[in-house]
Amino acid sequence: MTLGDDAPESRVLIVVTGGTICMQPSEDGLVPARGFLKQCLGPRPSFNDGSYPEPLEIITSPQGHRKAVQSLRTPLSSYGRRVRYCVLEFDDLLDSSSVDARSWDQIARIIQQNYALFAGFVVLHGTDSLAYTSSALSFMLQNLAKPVILTGAQAPMMMLQSDAHDNLLGSLVIAGHFAIPEVCLYFNFKLLRGNRATKVATDDFDAFASPNMLPLATVSSSRTHVRWNLVLRRRTAEMRNGEAGEEKLQVQSELDTAPVACLRVFPGMTAQMVDLFLHTEGLRGLILETFGSGNTPGGPDSPFTRVLADAVSRGIVIVNVSQCLSGSVSSIYAPAMTLQRAGVTFGQDMTTEAALTKLAYLLAQPGAEVEGVAEKMSVDVKGELTERTGTFFEHP
């Protein structure tokens, strides 16, 4: 018996949706390719200790159909544990620009169906819409008690210079070693809360940031440093908002982003433009990306303000978030106060991705009412925002 042969192991399911991380060259450019475990993980010692354990069972349908698939095992970690894992690939691998609410539902259902079989889950996903998906899943997965970590790469796993190896291995190790009951996004040695992350670079390896919250964990050469004081306790958010139900994982499905939209304010924007946008058929909610700490053109009686107030009176939920990466919207300046008096909801320090998916989540709940949805958009539901209770300008 060699060292570590009797070491404990954790089981993790890797869900491959597509994205750059699993792409290979083709005549039409880089496209997602199947066979990720065999092509990309099996040949790498970091992901395969050479023991080739027995297959693992996964559930592949809502009816509970089981399928035995090949599993691999990592070498012994510095924590004296191995991670044994297998891969479930989407039937149709996606470029992340094609991901939509149906994709979110498919990911959530896969996790729910296999929840009892694995200690954690890693979702491989393209980077373009990764922050939207991590935000959406954070609201969809209720009573979550296991880590769900989304990651991807700026270059394919098969390329010589790629961040794919480190991003996937880091995600796998955290999912198999740390009971962080959140949807997270792991990139460039940082574990971010999923609904606090946003993409900040098109090709840098440090592609994601969490401007208004420290990372949940960082990885060094020797250890994973978890900020446990920031980690949401199991069901804390649900209990705080009176949504506590059964312990069993629940999925809030049928999110639909079609009735919600984002609109970015710019200098010279006219009220007529905004009014036309707000009369889009079927529109129920709008994320308004404003200047600075929540400001828009015009005053209390301006056409711009009247257009927004009219939309609110018609039952459209309008949420004010800042165009800035860091900081929060507030009514400290007169233009923002005007918006608040017109019925616009303040999204505090939420990212656009979190605000959009949260609004879709709230509107999809049975019996959702406009007033209740608007109120909850300013309240912390899943750690997505910082609730403000004090003044913004005060002496230290």
By residue count, the chain amounts to 396
Active site residue 270: no
pLDDT of residue 239: 47
pLDDT of residue 24: 87
What's the fold here for domain 260-378? Rossmann fold (3.40.50)
pLDDT digits (tens, 9 = 90+) for 136-158: 999 999 999 999 999 999 999 99
- Mean pLDDT calculated for residue range 177-193: 98
Residue 374, CA distances (Å) to 72, 231, 316, 317 in order: 47, 26, 9, 6
In this structure, what are the phi and psi dihedrals at residue 203, rounded to the nearest 5 degrees? -135, -10
Residue 75 scores a pLDDT above 50: yes
The radius of gyration computed from the CA coordinates of the chain, to the nearest angstrom, equals 22
Average pLDDT, the chain: 92
pLDDT digits (tens, 9 = 90+) for 23-34: 988 888 888 889
Residue 4 scores a pLDDT above 60: no
Q: Where are the beta strands (DSSP E) in 270-314?
A: 285-290
**Same CATH fold assignment for domains 9-230 and 260-378:** yes
- Mean pLDDT calculated for residue range 104-132: 97
pLDDT of residue 222: 82
Tokens for 244, please give them: 């506590």
Burial of residue 42, with CB atoms counted within 10 A of its CB: 0-12 exposed, 13-18 middle, 19 or more buried: middle
Asked whether 35 and 55 are in contact (CB, 8 A), the reply is no
pLDDT digits (tens, 9 = 90+) for 249-306: 999 988 889 999 999 999 999 999 999 999 999 999 999 999 999 999 988 889 999 9
Residue 378, CA distances (Å) to 27, 157, 231 in order: 48, 40, 21
pLDDT of residue 235: 52
pLDDT digits (tens, 9 = 90+) for 373-394: 999 999 999 999 998 755 554 4
Least confident of 77-81, 111-115, 237-241, 345-349: 237-241
Q: What is the pairing mode between strands 82-94 and 345-346? A: unpaired
Domain spans of the chain?
9-230, 260-378
Least confident of 72-76, 150-154, 234-238, 327-331: 234-238
pLDDT of residue 246: 47
What's the fold here for domain 9-230? Rossmann fold (3.40.50)
Q: Which of 2, 17, 20, 74 is catalytic?
A: 20
- Please give the model's pTM, rounded to 2 decimal places: 0.93
